[in-house]
């Protein structure tokens, strides 16, 4: 194997080509200003198709497996376990992928970015040696959330039953030349509170995440180190009418995320096996970038879900994101692991209307000019001899 000697003082230049794609991705999602960020990583990107379509305003939504990424405390209230995956090419040089799986109380996720055949150049863009190197960044996330209602004696806590706490552990690894490889770790606590009804306006959800509160930064083989940047993210969502959600997030560095979603389900869609259609839109506003997003989603009866999002940028081409998800029939991945049964609530499906049973035909009035049919046709009935108004001998209708 060819050995590459790199002076530690030129570490940033050495891996600069590899970090370029990371920086571009972060710029597209606009994660704060350069002065407030000490480490560029995949954790700074807006993840998934649906959250990205909402402009990243998902901290106060957290109603699917992406609660793992945006607010782990929201895992405490998930009613159905799901898994989401996507792989896409970025800028023709990088491969980006994500896999997230989460249910009630527990979630795990994996995200990676790989760049191959990076030319090895110095700060003056001159080749250092012939050849190239690869750069890969991998992030592993494990998170859990529990509500106060799940705790012993939680039923007597009143409104606090709707409060949940969560904790997320993040591991980040960088694999490239020995001098540029390293790993880091951080912990992030979170809170989530929900009200199912707010004065007839539907549900209100509020979330707070303390980003990178505890942990170790990335230590590289060259001796260089970078710390995760601490931050605070607050989010809220409201359902003004059934099927609609509006949400907003704000970060401590001033970045604002605003998004909305409308879900449609009716008999016409159910005829074609479509359980739900969703339309989404959002905007991300920061001191250096304004980014708009639009997305669509389709939930198919049987558990499959497809989401598509397009992200705009003032200078870079549009980013198209397609994600496939599967919704399981249980609430938590802990249930099959422990041999327990925890079926998820039935999906809300609007079925096509059934045909009404045929009713007996109403008697039609007699045609004009014809006498009405007799109420009691002639038969073998006995003559009512006790009825003085009936003369059985002279009545021709009696045999």
Q: What are phi and psi of 148, to 5 degrees?
A: -65, -25
Could you tell me how far CA 352 lies from the centroid of its own chain? 27
73 touches 207 (CB < 8 A):
yes
- Contact indicator for 310, 320 with CB cutoff of 8 Å: yes
pLDDT at 35: 36
To 10 degrees, the CA torsion angle through 330, 334, 335, 340? -170
DSSP 343: B
The phi and psi torsions of 16 (rounded to 5 degrees) equal -60, -40
Q: pLDDT of 248-266, one tens digit each?
A: 999 998 999 999 999 998 8
Averaged pLDDT score across all residues of the chain: 80
Rounded Cα distance between 23 and 20, Å, is: 5
pLDDT of residue 234: 97
Max mean pLDDT among 112-126, 277-291, 306-320, 377-391 falls in 277-291
pLDDT, one tens digit per residue, over 170-185 is 999 999 888 889 999 9
In degrees and rounded to multiples of 5, residue 118 shows phi and psi of -85, 125
Which pLDDT band holds residue 379 (cuts at 50, 70, 90)?
very low
252 and 258 in contact (C-beta within 8 Å)? no
Q: Which residues 6+ apart lie within 8 Å of 242 measured at CB?
A: 202
The 10s digit of each residue's pLDDT in 130-181 is: 677 888 999 999 999 999 988 887 666 777 889 999 999 999 999 988 888 9
CA dist 101 and 107 (Å) reads 6
**How far apart (Å, rounded) are the C-alpha atoms in residues 76 and 150?**
9
pLDDT at residue 374, rounded to an integer: 57
CA pair distance 278, 264, nearest whole angstrom: 6
**Residues 220 and 179: beta-carbon distance below 8 Å:** yes
The pLDDT of residue 285 is above 70: yes
DSSP structural state of residue 185: E
> What's the maximum distance between 2 C-alpha atoms anywhere in the chain?
133
Give mean pLDDT, residues 199-223: 86
Sign of CA dihedral 339, 340, 344, 346: positive
Distance CA 82, CA 331 (A): 9
């Amino acid at each position: 194997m060819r050995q590459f000697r790199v002076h530690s003082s030129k570490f940033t230049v050495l891996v600069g080509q590899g970090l370029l794609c990371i920086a571009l991705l972060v710029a597209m999602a606009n994660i704060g200003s350069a002065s407030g960020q000490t480490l560029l990583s995949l954790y700074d990107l807006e993840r998934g198709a649906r959250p990205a379509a909402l402009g990243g305003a998902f901290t106060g939504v957290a109603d699917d497996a992406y609660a793992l990424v945006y607010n782990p405390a929201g895992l405490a209230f998930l009613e159905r376990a799901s898994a989401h995956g996507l792989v896409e090419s970025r800028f023709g040089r990088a491969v980006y992928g994500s896999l997230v799986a989460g249910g009630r109380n527990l979630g795990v996720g994996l995200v990676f970015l790989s760049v191959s055949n990076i030319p090895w150049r110095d700060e003056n863009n001159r080749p250092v040696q012939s050849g190239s190197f690869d750069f890969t960044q991998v992030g592993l996330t494990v998170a859990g959330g529990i509500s106060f209602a799940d705790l012993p004696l939680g039923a007597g806590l009143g409104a606090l039953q709707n409060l949940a706490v969560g904790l997320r552990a993040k591991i980040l690894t960088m694999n490239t030349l020995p001098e540029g490889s390293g790993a880091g770790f951080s912990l992030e606590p979170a809170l989530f509170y929900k009200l199912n009804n707010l004065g007839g306006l539907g549900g209100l959800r509020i979330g707070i995440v303390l980003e990178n509160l505890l942990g170790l930064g990335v230590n590289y083989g060259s001796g260089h180190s970078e710390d995760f940047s601490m931050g605070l993210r607050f989010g809220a969502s409201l359902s003004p009418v059934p099927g609609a959600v509006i949400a907003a997030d704000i970060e401590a560095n001033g970045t604002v995320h605003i998004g909305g979603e409308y879900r449609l389900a009716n008999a016409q869609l159910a005829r074609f096996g479509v359980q739900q259609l969703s339309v989404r839109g959002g905007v991300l506003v920061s001191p250096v970038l304004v980014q708009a997003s639009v997305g669509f989603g389709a939930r198919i009866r049987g558990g499959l879900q497809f989401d598509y999002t397009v992200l705009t940028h003032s200078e870079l081409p549009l980013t198209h994101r397609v994600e496939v998800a599967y919704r399981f029939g249980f609430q938590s991945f802990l249930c099959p692991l422990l041999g327990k049964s925890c079926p998820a609530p039935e999906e809300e499906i609007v079925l096509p209307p059934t045909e009404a049973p045929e009713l007996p035909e109403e008697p039609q009035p007699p045609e004009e000019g014809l006498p009405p049919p007799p109420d009691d046709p002639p038969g073998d009935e006995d003559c009512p001899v006790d009825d003085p108004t009936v003369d059985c001998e002279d009545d021709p209708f009696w045999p």
